[in-house]
């Protein structure tokens, strides 16, 4: 029997697994740490398929992990990018309202943003809206000047460099398959052999519930994948969007509604919607995994969610299938947009945890069980918050593990 080699194995080289590895190595420079990633490189899943928005923290319930981690996360992310030469643009976000109901929700959102101590928030009327975004037509809006954009793939790549510089390893093409608990350590069977470790940190995103089960922990939830589809704006129409234009979100869902975003990739994106995916990594509507979808169908929480939210689900499917419906959502923000302005683009899949009662978990969920820590729900603003989530996991590890 060989000695346990690693102090910590982190499962998943997404932005959160890498920030966690970085924070742990910062705290424990001598720790033997390896990040296992099933794909060929880092940030191939959620961390590389998102809107690239550095959120300011307006939306989240005061006192929640999301509110604390996002407000602090925005600052630390901006500072990290500046220190490491990663381009960002603080272009600001306009959240627009037209109907009485939207204006009432905008008011509530403003109060929430103030409670979360989001800096620089401003309620604006048509004249100021026209100055900020000349092509938006709205009665009122909330202006968040500190919201910005970045390419989170670049951030994840910088995190990976820092992990390696600090002495950590990253193994690609290495999927965790099974875990066998021994008295003092755990044997992880992977696609590239067995690895022994004293502690495991599960940052497996779309597969985090499965990895928890593999480790012998019942997560009490299941990941239900929601695909977010995007269009891009034709080059000659990009001038219609100066920064970030968002609707007032439906407060009963954790998704923000389709929006218009400048990106650091050099184009303007429209989206994402939120459609139930039949495969966890199902980036196209044609992707179908019998295993993934049968697991969704076998989960009682899915049926409870469906019983409550089936109208919204059908509406999202309709919007996904019919460009005209998608366009109508965008025209509520910028009326000049036409179907010819939109070209099909990529998508991302959100790892949304749903509990057994059918509730979509609103807050981040991070739990410790024995020698493991599981990041079980880290959807948006997870990328913005990644440095703070990594610190939080490292603190939890410091208090619970013997490192
Ligand atoms: C459409 C969309 C838009 C978004 N927009 C924003 C935004 O604008 N701003 C923002 O802050 N956040 C946004 N988010 C959220 C953000 O992208 C996520 O919170 C963040 O990327 C989560 O990172 P992660 O490391 O937990 O997950 P992931 O990036 O999914 O990484 C998990 C990794 O684990 C690996 N893995 C899984 N199982 C195994 C296994 N068994 N063995 C080995 N490896 C495994 C996967 O291959 C993957 O690389 C968005 C998300 C989506 C989907």
* Ligand 1 atom nearest to 18, measured from its CA: 25
Write the DSSP assignment of 355-375 as a string of letters: ETTSPBP-S-EEEEETTEEEE
Tell me what the mean pLDDT of segment 181-189 comes to. 95
* Ligand 1 atom nearest to 350, measured from its CA: 53
Regarding pTM above 0.85, the answer is yes
Tell me what the mean pLDDT of segment 167-177 comes to. 98
The counts of H helices and E strands in the chain are 10, 19
* Ligand 1 atom nearest to 385, measured from its CA: 11
Residue of 112, 107, 114, 118 lying closest to 147 (CA atoms): 118
Residue count of the chain, please give it.
403
Averaged pLDDT of the chain: 97
Domain that holds residue 71: 1-87+148-220+362-403
Does any domain span residue 129?
no
Return the residue whose CA atom lies nearest to atom 50 of ligand 1. Answer: 50
**In the chain, pLDDT over 90 holds for what percent of residues?**
96
Does any domain span residue 401?
yes
Tell me what the mean pLDDT of segment 282-306 comes to. 97
**Residue with the larger pLDDT of the pair 2 and 347:** 347
Does any domain span residue 250?
no
Helix (H, G, I), strand (E, B), or coil: what is residue 348?
strand
**Distance separating alpha carbons of residues 93 and 110, to the nearest angstrom:** 13
Tell me what the mean pLDDT of segment 104-130 comes to. 97
Q: How far is the CA of 204 from the centre of ligand 1 (A)?
A: 8
Does any domain span residue 92?
no
Q: How far is the CA of 378 from the centre of ligand 1 (A)?
A: 8
**Distance separating alpha carbons of residues 315 and 64, to the nearest angstrom:** 29
Does any domain span residue 11?
yes
Does any domain span residue 173?
yes
DSSP 89: B
**Distance separating alpha carbons of residues 403 and 393, to the nearest angstrom:** 13
**In the chain, pLDDT over 70 holds for what percent of residues?**
99
Is residue 314 over pLDDT 70?
yes
Provide the CATH number for the domain around residue 26: 3.50.50.60
The tally of CA atoms less than 13 A away on the side-chain side of residue 58 is 31
**Distance separating alpha carbons of residues 205 and 211, to the nearest angstrom:** 10
298 confidence band (pLDDT: 50, 70, 90): very high
* Ligand 1 atom nearest to 190, measured from its CA: 42
333 confidence band (pLDDT: 50, 70, 90): very high
Tell me what the mean pLDDT of segment 103-132 comes to. 97
pLDDT at site 254: 82
Residues 6+ apart with CB under 8 A from 62: 112, 115, 116
**Distance separating alpha carbons of residues 338 and 310, to the nearest angstrom:** 29
Q: Is 372 exposed, middle or buried (0-12, 13-18, 19+ CB in 10 A)?
A: buried
Tell me what the mean pLDDT of segment 265-294 comes to. 97
Does any domain span residue 128?
no
User: Which residues' Cβ are closer than 6 Å to ligand 1?
Assistant: 11-17, 36-39, 43-47, 49-53, 55, 175-176, 203-207, 211, 228, 272, 348-350, 375, 378-384
Tell me what the mean pLDDT of segment 327-352 comes to. 96
Does any domain span residue 97?
no
For residues 174-211, one letter each, b for 16 or more C-beta atoms within 10 angstroms of the residue's C-beta and e for the rest, the string is bebeebeeeeebbbbebeeeebbbbbbbbbbbbbbbbb
Q: How far is the CA of 38 from the centre of ligand 1 (A)?
A: 13
Distance of CA 162 to the CA centre of its chain: 21
pLDDT at site 251: 84
Tell me what the mean pLDDT of segment 189-214 comes to. 98
Number of structural domains in the chain: 1
Give the lowest-confidence range in 3-12, 23-32, 79-88, 174-183. 3-12
Residue of 117, 46, 87 lying closest to 280 (CA atoms): 46
Tell me what the mean pLDDT of segment 265-276 comes to. 96
Is residue 1 over pLDDT 80?
no
């Amino acid at each position: 029997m060989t000695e346990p080699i690693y102090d910590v194995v982190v499962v998943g080289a997404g932005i959160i697994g890498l920030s966690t590895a970085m924070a742990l190595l910062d705290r424990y420079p001598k720790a033997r740490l390896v990040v296992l990633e099933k794909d060929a490189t880092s940030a191939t899943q959620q961390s590389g398929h998102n809107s690239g928005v550095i959120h300011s923290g307006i939306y989240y319930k005061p006192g929640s992990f999301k509110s604390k981690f996002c407000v602090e996360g925005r600052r630390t992310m901006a500072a990290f990018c500046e220190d490491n030469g990663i381009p960002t643009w603080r272009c600001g976000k306009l959240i627009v309202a037209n109907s009485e109901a939207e204006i009432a929700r905008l008011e509530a959102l403003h109060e929430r943003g103030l409670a979360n101590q989001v800096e620089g928030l401003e309620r604006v009327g048509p004249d100021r809206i026209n100055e900020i975004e000349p092509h938006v037509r709205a009665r009122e809006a909330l202006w968040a000047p500190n919201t910005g954009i970045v390419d989170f793939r670049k951030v994840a790549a910088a995190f990976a460099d820092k992990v390696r510089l600090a002495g950590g390893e990253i193994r690609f093409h290495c999927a965790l398959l099974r875990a066998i608990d021994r008295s003092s350590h755990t044997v992880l069977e992977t696609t590239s052999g067995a690895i022994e470790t004293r502690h495991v940190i599960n940052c497996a995103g779309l597969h985090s519930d499965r990895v928890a089960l593999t480790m012998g922990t019942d997560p009490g939830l299941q990941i239900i994948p929601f695909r977010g589809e995007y269009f891009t704006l034709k080059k000659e129409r990009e001038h219609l969007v100066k920064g970030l234009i968002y609707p007032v979100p439906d407060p009963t869902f954790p998704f923000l509604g389709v929006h218009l975003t400048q990106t650091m990739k050099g184009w303007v994106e429209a989206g994402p919607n939120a459609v139930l995916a039949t495969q966890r990594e199902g980036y196209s509507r044609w992707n179908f995994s019998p295993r993934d979808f049968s697991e969704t169908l076998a989960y009682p929480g899915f049926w409870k969610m469906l019983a409550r939210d089936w109208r919204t689900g059908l509406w999202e499917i309709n919007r996904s299938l019919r460009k005209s419906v998608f366009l109508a959502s965008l025209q509520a923000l910028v009326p000049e947009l036409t179907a010819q302005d939109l070209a099909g683009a990529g998508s991302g899949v959100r790892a949304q945890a749903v509990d057994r009662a059918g509730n979509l978990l609103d807050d981040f969920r991070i739990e410790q069980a024995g020698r493991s820590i599981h990041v079980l729900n880290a959807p948006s603003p997870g990328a913005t918050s990644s440095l703070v989530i990594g610190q939080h996991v490292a603190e939890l590890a410091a208090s619970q593990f013997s490192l």
